[in-house]
Amino acid sequence: MESIRGKTPLQLTTDEFSRRVAGYKNIWLDLGTGDGRFVRHMSTQNREDFFIGLDACRENLREHSRDCPANALYLIASAQSLPAGLDGLAAQITINFPWGSLLHGLLDGDLALLDGLARVARPNAELTIRLNGGALAEAGWALEAGTWRVYERLQSAGFNVQQPRPLDAAGLRACPTTWARRLAYGRDPRGWLLSARISVNLIENLKIDTQMFV
């Protein structure tokens, strides 16, 4: 898998990756991590867990990946084709304020994305998604309708989703990402939060489906 530190790309073998994450209590995976601020913040607050930030775009990651803590790692990959080395590892998966193909994948129930989430999840992992109006408007959806659309797509794919909850300016300020901060202090400080559990059944069904196509 391809990692990045500052401007320098680094190919990590499966063994090297396994050594990096060994011994930590939980592994967090932040998809569409942007500049990686969330991973940076969370990894310095919680040294018992390991935090992985993944994004398709390398440029934004330069600053935070340059001197990231030992319990953090940044990967370059598409959320639609997550590295196989992550399989079965993530206890917490976050997607904060997605746009572009990541948001479209959620709105369309793209199987490459949703199956990938179930594949990298530990049994009973928690998936947390935060959505904002600007990105949804660009994708052709109003904030609340787009949120319910993602809810329905997750639900019908077998994720155990809770009712969406609105995020106000205080809720956005409490989320340590660059976009949350921009939104919190911007003209329309609103978002929605979706939480879901990825059950053992969903993960097992995915394995059966995958084996049928091998």
Binding range to ligand SAM, per CB under 6 A, among 10-18, 99-107, 186-194, 198-206: 99-107
Q: Residue 99 Cβ, how far from ligand SAM at the closest point, in Å?
A: 5
The interface with ligand SAM within residues 122-161 (CB under 6 A) comprises none
How far, in Å, are 37, 47, 64, 137, 196 from residue 34 at the CA level? 8, 22, 10, 19, 22
Q: Residue 162 Cβ, how far from ligand SAM at the closest point, in Å?
A: 21
Give the residue closest to ligand SAM by C-beta.
Answer: 34
How far, in Å, are 12, 70, 82, 103 from residue 19 at the CA level? 11, 12, 19, 32
Residue from 6, 9, 100, 140 touching ligand SAM (CB under 6 A): that is 100
Q: Residue 22 Cβ, how far from ligand SAM at the closest point, in Å?
A: 26
Q: Which DSSP symbol is given to 162?
A: P
Partners of residue 51 on adjacent β-strands? 28, 72
The two beta strands, 121-132 and 90-96, are: parallel
Does residue number 99 form part of the binding site for ligand SAM (CB under 6 A)?
yes
Residue from 57, 70, 174, 200 touching ligand SAM (CB under 6 A): that is 57
Q: Residue 161 Cβ, how far from ligand SAM at the closest point, in Å?
A: 20
The amino acid at residue 202 is L
Residue from 1, 3, 17, 32 touching ligand SAM (CB under 6 A): that is 32
Q: Which DSSP symbol is given to 199?
A: -
Is the Cβ of residue 37 or residue 149 nearer to ligand SAM in the bound state? Answer: 37
- The enclosing H or E element of 72 equals strand 72-76
> Interface mask (CB under 6 A) for ligand SAM, residues 162-201, using x and -?
---------------xxxx---------------------
Residue from 1, 28, 42, 55 touching ligand SAM (CB under 6 A): that is 55
Cβ count within 10 A of residue 17: 19
Helix (H, G, I), strand (E, B) or coil at 19: helix
* Burial environment of residue 42 by CB neighbours within 10 A (0 to 12, 13 to 18, 19 or more): buried
Is the Cβ of residue 100 or residue 166 nearer to ligand SAM in the bound state? Answer: 100
Binding site for ligand SAM (CB under 6 A): 32-34, 55-57, 60, 78-80, 96-102, 177-180
